[in-house]
Amino acid sequence: MKTGLLRHFLLVLRLNLRSVQALIYGYAVPVFFLLAFGAVFRDDTPALKHEMGQILVITILGGACFGLPTALVAERERGVWRRYRLLPVPISGLVLGTVIARLVIVASALALQTALAHWVFGTPWPLNPVLTTVAALAVTASFLGLGLLVAALANDVPAVQALGQCLFLPMILIGGVGVPLSVLPAVAQKIAGFMPGRYAVHILQQTYAAPAGLHGTGFDFLALAVIGVAAALAGSLLFRWEAGHRVARAARLWVPIALGSWLLVGTAAGLTGRLRPLPSAGASFDTITAADIAGIDYSDLPGDHELAGRLDPPFTTLEQSARIAPFVARLRAWPPGLDKTDPQSVRSLVCVAAIADISEDPREGQIARAVFDCLTSRFPPALLRKALAWVALYPHDGRTFNTLPALGLNRRPQIDIVRSRCVVYAKKYLGRLEGTLHD
């Protein structure tokens, strides 16, 4: 029996590698997304380090939500599974062999993407290779459960594409997979807490790029387990062996139960305070101490009225305030700077002052002052001090913007120049909070 199951697994793997459709979903689509991300985030240093979690999840989604159910439904339409029922082996073993074959394909696609990212864009290798592998297996297992459910519900291959898009597109657009959570509106960020993509990205990004590895990912693993097990259970109970077989009405109750797991996870995330953008500060922010803040050197800062690092005095007249008021209104509504609990929001706002200064905007000094006023009015003092120290001490951590069309700052300076200017402004702001610098 074991020999038969092994031969079935090898047969499924060989057939998948011969299928043009399987190769497109398994390898071509992931490479396309890698190149697209590389084009968008090409100025980051190192490139794609902070986006690898998203890229890997897209690969897993494609293999699980399209590759697996497409193969299963195509075989069902050809009568393959009806013949499998006559074999003297458990049907569960045949299904498991098919799932493991897809797992191998997804794993090879992930390895290919990681290698291409390193060779083409200079992306670092995973900081925690073993933990990244564990995380990838957990995410893939959860999403393959969703793939089984899609295969059970779809009547034919075109229906697989439609149902797969119902899972794929929402997670890409508002689930934190394709678009970073930090740039989504607050409502979309909360909705993302009900989707498995958010938790998958957090796990993979943590293990890939953060020294802390799996630290702080317990809820993410639990969420993926609940959603994956519920979907796999529903998919196995609804599994159809023949193309013409219809799912019984009573059995369809498993579909809302599977979807209910998403609501359960989202509700639990809300009750535990997790329905907010994932913090992108990383372990370096957590390790900053009061001694680190006190040890920051301000002697190398340029003056407030010099060519670089301009910073106007506080606004003292109505005329001064009115002149910058339209920009201030847009700044205060800018999504990446709204989360009062996320240090990345502080870094994002400091980027505004840096880009205005590098771009030689006529209002650069006023914009820098407006950013400081926004920071001090929005963030708790303790978090603000620590976040500004994080920006000053770890310029390459977190996400750095180098163009802000939403704020009218359309130039695109080099990302490294923006980072170095962010250090200047972070020190100027922190020095004022500490009483070391004065206006």
* Banded model confidence at residue 279, pLDDT cuts 50, 70, 90: very low
* Banded model confidence at residue 42, pLDDT cuts 50, 70, 90: low
The count of other CB atoms within 10 Å of the CB of residue 357 is 24
Give yes or no for residue 286 having a pLDDT over 70: yes
Look at residues 255, 264, 52 and name the one whose alpha carbon lies nearest to residue 139.
Answer: 52
Under a CB-based contact definition with an 8 Å cutoff, are residues 428 and 350 in contact?
no
Secondary structure (3-state) at 31: helix
Q: What 8-state DSSP symbol labels residue 406?
A: G
CA distances from 173 to 37, 274, 279, 392, 424 (A): 14, 19, 19, 32, 35
List pLDDT tens digits, range 76-99: 888 777 777 766 666 667 777 788
> What distance in Å separates the CA atoms of residue 265 and residue 262, rounded to the nearest whole number?
5
Specify the pLDDT at position 159: 86
Under a CB-based contact definition with an 8 Å cutoff, are residues 102 and 65 in contact?
no
Give yes or no for residue 318 having a pLDDT over 70: no
> What distance in Å separates the CA atoms of residue 209 and residue 114, rounded to the nearest whole number?
12
The chain-wide mean pLDDT, for the chain, equals 84
Higher per-residue pLDDT: 253 or 203: 203
Secondary structure (3-state) at 409: strand
Give the residue carrying structure tokens 């498991």. 96
> What distance in Å separates the CA atoms of residue 177 and residue 30, rounded to the nearest whole number?
13
> What distance in Å separates the CA atoms of residue 249 and residue 257, rounded to the nearest whole number?
14
Give yes or no for residue 213 having a pLDDT over 80: no
Q: Kindly state the tokens that stand for 275.
A: 């329905």
Specify the pLDDT at position 71: 82
Look at residues 25, 19, 17, 16 and name the one whose alpha carbon lies nearest to residue 58.
Answer: 25
> What distance in Å separates the CA atoms of residue 87 and residue 335, rounded to the nearest whole number?
58
Can you give the pTM of this predicted structure?
0.66
In the chain, % of residues over pLDDT 70: 90
Give yes or no for residue 136 having a pLDDT over 70: yes
* Banded model confidence at residue 334, pLDDT cuts 50, 70, 90: very high
